[in-house]
Chains A and B, each alone.
Chain A
Amino acid sequence: MTEVVVAHREARPRKAFWPALPVSVVVALGWIALMLLLACFSEIIAPYGFTKLDLRNRLAPPGTVGHWLGTDELGRDVLSRLVFSIRVSLLIAFGATIISATVGTVLGFLAAHFRGWVEQIVLMLADFQASMPFLILALAVLAFFGNSLPLLVGLMGLFGWERYARISRGLAISANAQGYAGAIRQLGARPSRIYFRHILPNIASTLIVSMTLVFPEVILLESGLSFLGLGVQPPMTSLGNMVGYGREYLTRAPWIMLCPAAAIVLTTLAISVIGDWLRDRLDPTLK
């Protein structure tokens, strides 16, 4: 009997979940893949170290032999700096998105499970977070606690959690009120099983889509902070940091600023395109 079952399982064609992708999505996925590749293999790909000076070739324009994207005011290779910047920026953005999604979802579940004063506190914190300009909060924290990469990632992780909390709370409450979650509780399951095995997979699509919305914002926020000189500190480099220091040479050497700016725009755009497409794919009501 068992063999028959196994054979059947293999014979059954996979659900056609990935039909022909739209061109924009393919391009976006390709771009993100390229970014990830650059971030993972920065040392191999970058022709120079990101602090390596080449004083004889200062402010070389793009196309110069040996410096394909030109150099900055200290003769540092823009391409190499760009590659390392992408690594740092993506690290911050991914780390922060994962932290805020986890924190937000767990808080939302706690609110939905305990209701009462726990819910009130979570909602109050969420309102507080939503009403506070995050840049101000970030400035305050960085000004008081100094600056380091882990702190920056943790700080960015506080960004946007209230959206996950609201979404997961709302969806968990509605799941609890009727339907599968109630049925599973009735079977005698522990709350952890109900929330993480049943409710989480059912609401994951919504959460993933909101992650793709928060992700670009984190990149932009990090760029903004670095631009203001409060984010990643030199000699470390990030996309926003490059834009910030490149603006002084905007008229004489625009490539220093335009390269990282283009990377920011294209990456956030690509993530948004993917998020849009994922929302359509994962929304069960559209199936």
Chain B
Amino acid sequence: MTGPLVQARALRKVYASRRGIFGRVSHVRAVDDVSLEIAKGETLGLVGESGSGKSTTGRLVLGLEQADNGEVRFADAPMPSMGTQVWRTQRARVQMIYQDPLGALDKRLTILDQVREPLDIHDIGERSERDQRALELLRSVDLSAEHGRRYPGELSGGQRQRAVLARALATRPEFLVCDEPVSALDVSIQAQVVNLLCDLQDRLGLTMLFISHDLRVVRQVSHRVAVMYLGQIVETGSADDLFSAPLHPYTRALVSASPAPGRRSADRIVLQGDPPNPADRPSGCAFHPRCANALAACRVTQPTLSQPSATRSVACHLYADGQRSAA
């Protein structure tokens, strides 16, 4: 193997928004200088609160949006620009799972037709065998032929998400971006879909970018985790390390906020204030107004990613000199 399957370098995406007709145009840096690498067969979890740029990062990595800066490389080649023939052909190798499965399915086609669709688009296999292949795909996500004859409106949320998964897997993609795939499902169904995802990944050797705000799910699915805050990655590490010993104060707050049985709620870190407006980001470290451990430097200079150990990186002044001065 020559390198990571997916490689993103210094991605930046700026959206312009205007308030009212004559309002000033303000620029929102949805994603700001994000770099990440995903090795073949690995799952990278991407966590962060709403508006932190997780989904935009996912779309940039997938080539669904053009980055303003930086580049995405897939399998050692730059991502072709959107809408070209090369781009379309490449879609067979990269796929996406959406948060809202009902929205992602065409209400007027049966499930089987929709699962079959990628095969028709990319002209895979004999025409006559495609229905059979679509049925196999449905079976691999625990849906029956009977489900295949129904319309999306006639399935439950979990069944729809599994149908979307079957469609995404139809072309045997190498890379899958899951954008909050279980957030819209209730907890019992979540487990079902998450287990199925883990299963399929083991079986098919998928590489995944798993975007979620649910730390428990991310921990279960991911090998490595990256934490985003306001368009930037503040900490990365292997899933177990990161969740058992979070370094960045924001990660610590996130981890302590997710409920775990048998832990007293007294030592929870409760973040003060709202996430800042991305159009008007604080100076220095974007997290400093809410940070309990903020230093004087945090107000002024933006921390860069440092590597406390070989597998971890964190963007925080507390660890800038390579040692843990606060814990």
Residues of A within 8 A of B (CB): 1-2, 4-5, 8-9, 12, 178-180, 182-184, 186-190, 193, 198, 201-202, 284
Contacts and interface: CB of A to CB of B under 8 A. Distances in A.
Contacts of B118: 187-188
A8 B145 contact: yes
A187 B167 contact: yes
Contact of A188 (B91, B107, B132, B149): B91
Given A9-B149, A12-B149, A183-B98, A189 B107 contact: no
Given A188-B92, A190-B88, A178 B103 contact: yes
A184 B117 contact: yes
Given A188-B91, A201-B106, A201-B109, 19 more contacts: A1-B135, A2-B132, A8-B149, A12-B149, A178-B103, A180-B107, A183-B104, A186-B96, A187-B95, A188-B87, A188-B118, A188-B121, A188-B122, A189-B117, A190-B121, A198-B106, A202-B107, A202-B108, A284-B107
Nearest to B87: A188
B98 A187 contact: no
Contacts of B167: 187
Contact of A189 (B62, B108, B121, B132): B121
9 contacts: A2-B132, A8-B149, A179-B104, A180-B105, A186-B91, A188-B88, A190-B121, A198-B106, A201-B106
A187 B90 CA distance: 9
Interface residues of B, number: 30
Interface string B189-215: 000000000000000000000000000
A183 B122 contact: no
B267 interface: no
Contacts of A1: 135, 145
Contacts of B90: 188
B311 interface: no
Contact of A5 (B95, B100, B122, B145): B145
B103 A179 contact: yes
A179 B160 CA distance: 14
Nearest to B122: A188
Contacts of A184: 106, 117
B91 A202 contact: no
A188 B103 contact: no
Contacts of B132: 2
Contacts of B121: 187-190, 193
A55 B206 CA distance: 88
Contact of A180 (B64, B88, B106): B106
B186 interface: no
B92 A180 contact: no
Contacts of B145: 1, 4-5, 8
A186 B92 CA distance: 9
Interface string B105-148: 11111000000011001100000000010010000000001100
Contact of B89 (A2, A188, A284): A188
A246 B88 CA distance: 63
**Sorted from nearest, which 8 A-B pairs have the closest CB atoms?**
A188-B91, A179-B103, A183-B104, A188-B88, A180-B106, A201-B108, A189-B121, A187-B118
Contacts of B105: 180, 183
Interface in B71-91: 87-91
B95 to A, nearest CB: 7
A235 B222 CA distance: 81
Given A5-B145, A9-B149, A193-B121, A186 B106 contact: no
Nearest to A201: B108
B95 A186 contact: yes
A34 to B, nearest CB: 32
A285 to B, nearest CB: 11
A178 B146 CA distance: 28
B91 A180 contact: no
A202 B104 CA distance: 13
B64 A186 contact: yes
B96 to A, nearest CB: 5
Contacts of B146: 8
A74 to B, nearest CB: 54
A198 B121 CA distance: 13
B163 to A, nearest CB: 12
Contacts of B88: 188-190
Nearest to A284: B107
Contacts of B62: 186
A186 B88 CA distance: 8
A188 B62 CA distance: 12
A189 B123 CA distance: 11
